[in-house]
Structure 1
Amino acid sequence: MITAPGVFEAVFDAHFEEIRRYIGRRLDLDVAEDLAAETFLIAFRQRDRFDSALGEVRPWLYGIATNLIGRHRRAEVRRYRAMARSGPPPDDEGHDQRIVDRLTADVRADRLAGALARLSPGERDVVLLVAYGGLTYDEVAAALKIATGTVASRLSRARTKLREVTG
């Protein structure tokens, strides 16, 4: 139970950086720190509502973060459209990783960003929770409070749309 003393601190220590990175990939890195902190503030305030019988804390945190990102959805879409015109922004990974990413990319980031901007909000959330968060279908379902079958169908539709745009 995360309401026990010290347990929430362990949850924060274990997941803050992962949630911050996920938010940073979806929104500007400048916003990621603040929204990650807000994610944990909301989680702390609602910790008595968390039911471990329904699942793990990780998807619950991703669900809170995704809801916060949803509040910034218009800015997110504008960002993807701008990236489609100008290329990818700097990321929070090291220099070596950026070089490897650029050398091994199958799809140009501008085309991918444009394709992401064209997805429905639900499809985009599923794709980015899987791609950036590394969540399983069950974890995405728990995070978004939707059925696992809905996750699979949204991801399938999104993949089709992304393939059409990116080739």
Structure 2
Amino acid sequence: MTEDDAGVIGRSVGEPEVFAAIFDRHAPYLHRYLARRLGRDVADDALAETFLAAFRRRARYDRQRPDARPWLYGIATNVVAQHRRDEVREYRLLRVVRPQPHAEAHDDDVAARVVAEARGPELGAALAALADGDRDVVLLTAAEGLSYEEVAEALGIPVGTVRSRLNRARRKLRAALGTDSEEVSVHG
């Protein structure tokens, strides 16, 4: 029988190399989630950040929880949020700093990419318009298949909050997509 995540994490406190089993079990799923949230170019680095943070926090892991997925998704969601904050800070800085004359071609490339992304799939735009917390709940439930309880654990919020955020997000997505469907699904 395979040792559960809690057992592996517990043993890794004294034997750090054992933590590799957690990476092997969960990295593909977390990479997929991070790629959906941040893009494939950034997903590898974000995955490394996620597992580095998990490794550093492993001694504080609640060993009553046999499955580390919600814990890892919570860390990954925090990495996404930090990436978004860094990105906003960078864009604000770019607005303040005047570009050098030779940077015009680069600015045109950036502007073209922003326009192209803005005209992306309707669902992407609708998801982007959601509040961060609502988007996190939608992506963790619909795209990653986590239960309400697992999402609550991952985000450190009550299950009732997960339900209300998901309900609100679905209403907004239906309105943005112009559908009367009761169920809006998100697939990567």
Using structure 2 for the length normalisation, give the TM-score: 0.70
Q: How far apart are the structure 2 equivalents of 1:26 and 1:13?
A: 21
* Counterpart position of 1:3: 10
* Counterpart position of 1:83: 117
* Counterpart position of 1:34: 45
**Structure of greater Rg:** 2
1:119-155 C-alpha deviation (Å, 9 max, x unpaired)? 1110011011112221111110000000111001000
Q: How far apart are the structure 2 equivalents of 1:161 and 1:39?
A: 30
* Counterpart position of 2:166: 155
Aligned ranges 1:12-51 → 2 under 5 Å: 12-51=23-62
Report the Cα offset of residue 53 of structure 1. 1.5
Calculate percent identity across the aligned residue pairs: 56
Q: How far apart are the structure 2 equivalents of 1:143 and 1:82?
A: 33
1:46-84 C-alpha deviation (Å, 9 max, x unpaired)? 1001012256311000000000000122559x9998534
Structure 2 residue 128 is the aligned partner of structure 1 residue 121: no
Q: Which amino acid is the alignment partner of residue 59 of structure 1?
A: P
Local SS of the residue matching 1:72: helix
Gaps of 5+ in 2: 1-6, 92-112, 179-188
Q: How far apart are the structure 2 equivalents of 1:80 and 1:165?
A: 20
Match of 1:146 among 157, 160, 165: 157
Q: Which amino acid is the alignment partner of residue 8 of structure 1?
A: F
Q: 1:155 to 1:46 in 2, by over 3 A?
A: same
Say if 2:152 and 2:158, in contact at 8 Å, map to a contact too: yes
Report the Cα offset of residue 29 of structure 1. 0.5
* More moved, 51-60 vs 27-36: 51-60
Local SS of the residue matching 1:3: helix
Which runs of structure 1 show a deviation greater than 4 angstroms over 4 or more consecutive aligned residues?
A: 78-82
Say if 1:22 and 1:133, in contact at 8 Å, map to a contact too: yes
Q: 1:22 to 1:81 in 2, by over 3 A?
A: farther
Say if 1:137 and 1:148, in contact at 8 Å, map to a contact too: yes
Match of 1:56 among 67, 75, 80: 67
Report the Cα offset of residue 9 of structure 1. 1.6
Gaps of 5+ in 1: 88-109
Q: How far apart are the structure 2 equivalents of 1:57 and 1:131?
A: 19
Say if 1:36 and 1:65, in contact at 8 Å, map to a contact too: yes
Say if 1:80 and 1:114, in contact at 8 Å, map to a contact too: no
